[in-house]
Amino acid sequence: MKRNGTIAAIIFVAVIVGYMAVYIIGAFASPLTTSEAVLITAEETVTINGYFVRDEQPVLSAGTGDSEACVSEGEKVSAGEALAVVYSDSNAKETNVALSTAESRLERLQRVASSSTTDISGIDSGISSSLNKLAYSTLHEEFSSLSTTCDELKTLVLERELLSSGDISEVESTIAALEAEVLSLRNSISGVTAYMYAPASGYFSSSVDGYEDVLTPEKAETITVAELQDISLQKADVAEGKYCGKMVYGFEWRFVTAISQDKAELLDEGGRITLRFSSDYIGDVRVNVERISEPENGECVVVFSSNTHISELMHLRRQSVDIVFASYEGIRVPKEAIRIDENGESGVYILYSAQAKFIKIKQIYEADSYFVIEYDASSSSGLRPGDEIIVHSKNLYDGKIIE
């Protein structure tokens, strides 16, 4: 009897140990892993390469010596305005630089002398505003306005100094000396330099790459996939010193590319789409889908157009950009976390008060390793940011105690 009891006890212990072993092995084989529900924005994009097209005209240089631009890159200029100067020799260049400096200082002093402002606090406010403009222009690479803003700042500083000292006679004597200096420099530089002038009003760029007469707005209306692929063979050779720069007319630019037919079919001719510039110019630009050509060997020419950021983009020609087809905002859920309940509905389990809770979901976008799930901030029953999603666990069901 005693022996039978001992055997029964041994069997009981063995069963308990076996059960625990199976439980422990199962736990290690399928450990509980979770992932926090995070609100994200996923985008459907494709990277393309293409060319900027503008209405451009190269401006011939007036000489073979050293040249210097008279206007900033991307600056809007009027017809007849000086674009660049060619120096006959190094002395002429030094004289012209001195003349430009003297003329700028003279102009500022004349403005200060003729100013009737007596409010120092107003001038201080203007100085602060100019400094903010400089910081903004530098941060956003809007260099076309830097020269004007710097000139405004220098004038305000001079005006403040004058108001602080109250000595107008010193300014007047300095103006007289500068006027004599400017006249002398102009007489000495006459006949030894040549200027190039804008043939019409537009934007100035110092870059001439040989595509100006090849990639034209008219050509963008008819260019084929084959022609675009060979476009680099058609550009003109640009001899060093031949041009002082170019004029860009109008406010519109185009971007021409060739993309696969299946991607082109996602676009609507006459519609709007976002291009993302991630290299020389960083940012998203909304553009028009100007033209979609007939397919050619599985590809289509697509022409985008816009009339924004012309100054910032005019130095670019061949560029890699992203087409942003769609944007999806929702909660990121790993694919392994998706479950199907007994009713055939898709959802995920989350940890809620130490229990597994099943939440129905609606998928709005699929990536390689995750889904974007629709998020309704007004719903109290749906998946919410911060929820702890159960990715891996064994024998899950709604209400299961998770230890």
* One-letter amino acid of 172: E
Identify the burial level of 301 via C-beta atoms within 10 angstroms of its C-beta, where 0-12 means exposed, 13-18 middle and 19 or more buried: buried
DSSP percent split of the chain into helix, strand, coil, nearest 5: 35, 35, 30
pLDDT over 70 for what percent of the chain? 81
How many residues does this entry show for the chain? 403
Q: How confident is the model at residue 330 (pLDDT cuts 50, 70, 90)?
A: very high
- 239 or 67: whose pLDDT is higher? 239
Report pLDDT for 132: 79
- 254 or 241: whose pLDDT is higher? 254
What is the widest separation between alpha-carbon atoms in the chain?
Answer: 132
What is the C-alpha to C-alpha distance for residues 140 and 147, in angstroms, rounded to an integer?
15
Report pLDDT for 313: 86
Q: How confident is the model at residue 5 (pLDDT cuts 50, 70, 90)?
A: low
* One-letter amino acid of 311: S
Report pLDDT for 200: 94
Q: How confident is the model at residue 120 (pLDDT cuts 50, 70, 90)?
A: low
Report pLDDT for 114: 73
Handedness of CA 179, 181, 187, 193 (dihedral sign): negative
**Tens of pLDDT along 254-286?**
999 999 999 999 999 999 999 998 766 668 899
**Tens of pLDDT along 151-171?**
677 767 766 766 666 666 667
Query: Is 73 a residue whose pLDDT tops 90?
Result: no
**Tens of pLDDT along 34-50?**
999 999 999 999 999 99
Query: What tokens does 276 get?
Result: 């993302």
C-beta separation of 309 from 251 below 8 A: no
Give the pLDDT mean for 74-92.
85
At 117, give phi and psi (nearest 5°).
-70, 135
Report pLDDT for 14: 54
Query: What tokens does 152 get?
Result: 């405004």
Report pLDDT for 167: 61
Which one, of 61, 70, 59, 71, lies nearest residue 93 by Cα? Answer: 70
Rg (CA), the chain: 35
Tell me the helices (H) and strands (E) count for the chain, helix number first.
Answer: 9, 18
Identify the burial level of 228 via C-beta atoms within 10 angstroms of its C-beta, where 0-12 means exposed, 13-18 middle and 19 or more buried: buried
C-beta separation of 292 from 302 below 8 A: yes
Give the pLDDT mean for 174-186.
85
Report pLDDT for 220: 96
Query: What tokens does 216 get?
Result: 């034209």
Q: Which DSSP state fits 338? A: -
Query: Is 319 a residue whose pLDDT tops 70?
Result: yes
Report pLDDT for 39: 94
Query: What tokens does 243 get?
Result: 């041009």
Q: How confident is the model at residue 116 (pLDDT cuts 50, 70, 90)?
A: low
C-beta separation of 255 from 50 below 8 A: yes
Report pLDDT for 87: 78
Report pLDDT for 395: 84
**Cα 127 to Cα 108, 121, 144, 160, distances in angstroms:** 15, 10, 19, 9
Query: Is 240 a residue whose pLDDT tops 60?
Result: yes
Beta carbons within 8 Å of 79's beta carbon, 6+ residues apart: 198, 199, 200, 201
Cα within 13 Å of Cα(1), Cβ side: 0
Query: Is 192 a residue whose pLDDT tops 50?
Result: yes
- 53 or 64: whose pLDDT is higher? 53
Instruction: Tell me the DSSP string of 263-328.
Output: HHTTS-TT-EEEEEEESSSEEEEEEEEEEEPPPBTTEEEEEEEESSSHHHHTT--EEEEEEEEEEE
Report pLDDT for 32: 86
Which one, of 53, 74, 56, lies nearest residue 304 by Cα? Answer: 53
